Amino acid sequence: MRHVYTPVIGLEIHVQLATESKLFCPCSTDYIGAEPNTNVCPVCLGLPGALPTLNARAVELAVRAAMGLSCEIHDGTIFHRKHYFYADLPKAYQVSQYDRPLADRGELYISGDGGSPKRIGITRLHLEEDAGKLVHSAADGRLEGARESYADFNRGGVPLAEIVSDPDIGSPREAREYVSALRRLVRYLGVSDGDMDRGSMRVDANVSVVKSNADTGEILYRGDRAEIKNMNSLRSVERALEYEIRRQRATLESGGTLERETRHWNDGEGVTTSMRSKEAALDYRCLPDPDLGPIEVSREMLDAIRSSLPEMPWEREARFIGDYSLSEVDAAVLVETPALADYYERCVRSGASPLRASNWVRTEVLRVLNERGVGIEECPVRPEELGLLVSMLDEGRASTTVAKEIFGLMVDRGLSLQEATDRCGAHGGLSQEDLELAAKSVLDANPDVLAEIMGGRDLKGKKRKFICGLVMKETRGRATPGAVEDVIARFLEGME
């Protein structure tokens, strides 16, 4: 009997909400690079007598995310205290939501392995506070021999939305697609910056494999799931899942069984290792938080949030494909972030042809951003100017080479389009005489081709194009195709 092993994957993603202040106190959420324990107060340090108050904006952002995921949103849901003793948790409980989440039963579409859109169910979305950070090295940075660990509570209490998917994800590639789609969504909605490397999006995965009879499809064994933690990039999500599925499959093939456990992804070694087994599973001793009332989500609030929602990424993608005749792949690149999609559209609106604008944004603009390690917001070329530059190409007023030169000047020297164009000169600094000289030397050097054209044997115009190409080359790409064609036409007329 042949067997097939089908992976079953569900993801739990913590998204850090883009609020100014923490979930339950007015401390700043800006902890990256901050001096340890500066954004702290009696509430997030868990001092005796301190009380939490809920940040309305965090609720609003969580509701936005829930709407983007088409969830059912519940009014009057409550917070629970989830107890565990650990050095990053000052109150020894985390305020979270337990059996009554803010939202549940949503969905997100991704590009499935089969090539068509695939629906991934969203089990639930709830609000919770982040824990503090522990540093495990010695004060001088050494890991060896350190006898202490250090606690910093700047991050403690920062608002998170935990988004749990149904186990609908069928492969590591789909998991990556899902994370990437969710990241795009939260960015569109202004819910989070979605940066995985800064920890604004943290992914845990529940993975199991099902063994079935390849011929009949009969299920023979369902492995208990493993929870994988510590995947800090899209790539590590995919790699960790690939490894884990291989590991589980190998275990089953060798006659072993799979227990429920939590495993840690080690990115350097490319393996997952067991952290704790089911027996050691934690009992969080949940208690409805008596210091916090229910979360209020009124009809008016829902209506206000709904009416403020932007165009969703998938809606924009479809519009780009339909209105601008872009390919699916190109449209997907352009709608990755709302800022990039806005940039592209402003470019098109100032007169550029959609296809050429798409090429320029995806290649030239993204290359510059990558080189500089900045976001589209800091692009040195304004989209309107890029639009005008692209339309110069569209209208044959500049060659690609010259346009790139102009673009380069705008990027490197910070020149405006006008200044950069002036610097390059009309037609890229090429005079009519230069062009005529170039045309003459090409014709002189290719008498046989010229003869064919003049003899009427260039029926398809191929030879003529070849000559034009050589002229272009002779001008090192500075002449526009139109100008070259004009000058060649005049020469040929003059010879008749």
Partner 1 sequence: MQLSMTAAETARRVSEGELRPLETVDVFMKTAREREPNLHALLAVLEERAGHAAERLDASLSRGEGPGPLSGVPVVLDDGICVRGTPTTCASRMLEGWIAPYDSAASEMLDSSGAIICAKGNMDEFSIGCSTETSAFGATANPCDPGRVPGGSAGGCAAAVAAGYAPLALACDTGGSLLQPASYCGVYGLRPTYGLVSRWGVAALAPSMDQLGILSRTVEDAALALSVISGHDPRDAMSSPGDRPDYMAAVAVPDGKDARRPLAGRRIATVAEMRGGSDLAGACREALDRTLAMLAEAGAELVEVHLPLSFNHGLACYQVLLAAEASSSLARFDGVRHGLSAEADSLNSLYLGTRGKGFGREVKRVAAAGTYILGSDRYEDCYLRASNVRRRIVGELLDALAGCDLIALPTTPTTAFRRGEFDGDYFGMSLSLSFTVQASLAGLPALSFNAAGAGELPAGVQLIAPRRGEAGLLAAAAAIERVRASRDEAGERRSER
Partner 2 sequence: MALRKQGVGAQEIALAARIASNARIFMDEEETIDLAGFINEFMGYADELAGVAVSAGGEPSLGSPRARAREDAVRRSDVRDAVLDAAPTRSGSFFVVPRILDPQGEEGSL
Residue with tokens 């296809």: 355
Tokens encoding 16: 């850090």
For residue 450, give Cα distances in angstroms to 113, 226, 433, 461, 490.
Answer: 55, 74, 21, 12, 14
Burial category of 190 from C-beta neighbours within 10 Å (exposed 0-12, middle 13-18, buried 19 and up) = middle
Tokens encoding 209: 């494999």
Q: Does 83 bind partner 1 (CB under 8 A)?
A: yes
Closest CA to 481 of 492, 495, 494, 467: 467
Of 4, 32, 72, 86, the one binding partner 2 by CB under 8 A: 86
Of 256, 293, 375, 396, the one binding partner 1 by CB under 8 A: 293
Shortest distance (Å) from residue 351 CB to partner 2: 41
**Residue 49 interacts with, from partner 1, partner 2, none (CB under 5-8 Å by kind):** partner 1
Residues facing 13 on adjacent strands: 163, 203
Q: Does 229 bind partner 2 (CB under 8 A)?
A: yes
**Residue 294 interacts with, from partner 1, partner 2, none (CB under 5-8 Å by kind):** partner 2
Q: Does 432 bind partner 1 (CB under 8 A)?
A: no
**Rg, C-alpha atoms of the chain:** 30
Q: What is the DSSP letter of 224?
A: P
Q: What are phi and psi of 37, to 5 degrees?
A: 55, 45
Nearer to partner 1, 26 or 310 (CB): 26
The stretch among 22-30, 316-324, 340-348, 435-443 that binds partner 2 (CB under 8 A) is: 22-30
Q: Does 232 bind partner 2 (CB under 8 A)?
A: no
**Residue 309 interacts with, from partner 2, partner 1, none (CB under 5-8 Å by kind):** none
Residue with tokens 């998204």: 15
Give yes or no for a contact between 65 and 191, defined as CB atoms under 8 angstroms apart: yes
H or E element at residue 408: helix 400-413
Q: Does 50 bind partner 1 (CB under 8 A)?
A: yes
**Residue 57 interacts with, from partner 2, partner 1, none (CB under 5-8 Å by kind):** partner 2
**Residues within the interface to partner 2 (CB under 8 A):** 14, 19-21, 25-28, 35-38, 40-42, 45, 47, 53-59, 78, 84-88, 94, 100, 130-131, 134-136, 139, 146-153, 160, 202, 229-230, 264, 275-276, 282-283, 288, 290, 292-294, 296
**Residues within the interface to partner 1 (CB under 8 A):** 42, 45-54, 81, 83, 85-87, 90-93, 149, 151, 283, 285-288, 290-293
